[in-house]
Structure 1
Amino acid sequence: MSLNLANYEAQAREAIKLFWGNREAALAKQIESGNQDAGWRGAVTAGKNMDGFLAMARSLVEANGLAPDNICVQQRVLTLPGFFRPTKLWDLLVMHHGKLVAALEFKSQVGPSFGNNFNNRSEEAIGAAHDLWTAYRKGAFGEDTPRPFLAWIMLLENCDKSNSPVKDKEPHFPVDQAFKGASYAQRYDLLCRRLVQEGLYSSATLLLSPREAAKDGHYRHFSELTSPKSFVTGFAGHIAAIAAR
């Protein structure tokens, strides 16, 4: 089976440039209007910052054999039932003949508040996956549904604070040795690796990019398991296998 990776490296760089460009544009617009949100919140209220990654995922679906009408990106068709809660809104769904093929979530984190946001993002990712797989086992997505492809993509600001060692409080029991002295960037990589290793996600990707990447789309990754290539090849393979049935 031949896979089409849809020139993902160039698309990823364009997505990075769009991410930082949209943040800058949203903040500048609010400053100009005199209605600036507190801190950097004004840069994220536009809600379009990760659209470049959605476009990349869409191109991978189409390039590997499924028609555009199988791709759900409008909010009204992005809801799936849960088990511990009624519903969950995803960022992109792929459907085929009424069956769930894939569910994707795109997240980002920009400083300065990395600590609380890391915990929140971790809880969201773990909870969403556990809820989806429980609903899947209970038949919420119909009978005889092949296991869908579940992906979590995180874009993290590459800066001094995200790369600095972090200390943890240990009043009762020791923290997992892997987290000791690890930066938030390293913790995100560890989170992504464990999400995949423990079977919660088919793919979990971490991209690190500085604000200056609005010009060239520069990014880096920590490990092969959490790299964009790992996501792209796994996702393309899953789509191609469904299309070939």
Structure 2
Amino acid sequence: MTDAVKLEAPFYAATSDEIDVFAAAWRQQLAVMLKGPTGCGKTRLVEHMAARLDVPLMTVSCHEDMTASDLLGRFVLTGGDTEWVDGPLTQAVRLGGICYLDEVVEARQDAVVAVHSLTDHRRTMTLERLGGETIQAAPGFMLVVSYNPGYQSVLKDLKVSTRQRMVGLDLTYPPADTERLIVSRESGLDDRRLDDLIRLGQALRRGKDAGLREVASTRTLIAAARLMQEGLGFRRAATAAIAAPLTDDEALTAQLITVIDAYDSSSEHS
């Protein structure tokens, strides 16, 4: 079961007013819905804000087999005795922390509906398995959900009744100067290769209609930079961290490597 954790504030470079809106929503006891492409910083924003607000954070990676019990809790057998164990949502409600449902559209609808009473004026939850015990959310409790709008479909989307209970924040990849700062802070890569890498990432995003389902995220650029810090050449690091995760198609991979070579100012294709 997910444990409550407190974090030191990780570095987060805001691209708009998302920090102010998030903090305002927390003060007003409103739920937040984060929308944005893979690797743009949704999880990092939540971690940063939990530390900044000094509240525990319980993170749940949602999946299609996740049930309401996975969020609320269940009875477990311990040493021959049966005892109740709170789920991450219940922990957050009791402690006054943030419960973060990552990729919430992957979860079953019955699991998502379980949060409704916590996202309106009631701020309560009822545990039917504990005889209908009703818990009032402690001060500081906040529900945050995230998803990638690019993967939306009729079968994988939030109900309007759920969406209207939340404050929406649209995130995207940062501009080049901000992304350069982020990758530099996370990897320590030298300026020349860092400039090449940022220009490569920007170029791949401009060509997003070239047959790729996703473009190079800030996360993949950081991974490539870290590989370079370990001694790998620009081409090898970018191929492993960017091209390989983006596609399995040999022709597309070859095209990506050609683009990678074009942005390698060292011309050391190692």
* Shorter-chain TM-score range: 0.3 to 0.5
TM-score (norm: length of structure 1): 0.34
Larger radius of gyration: 2
TM-score (norm: length of structure 2): 0.32
Structure possessing the higher relative contact order (Cα contacts under 8 Å, 6 or more residues apart): 1
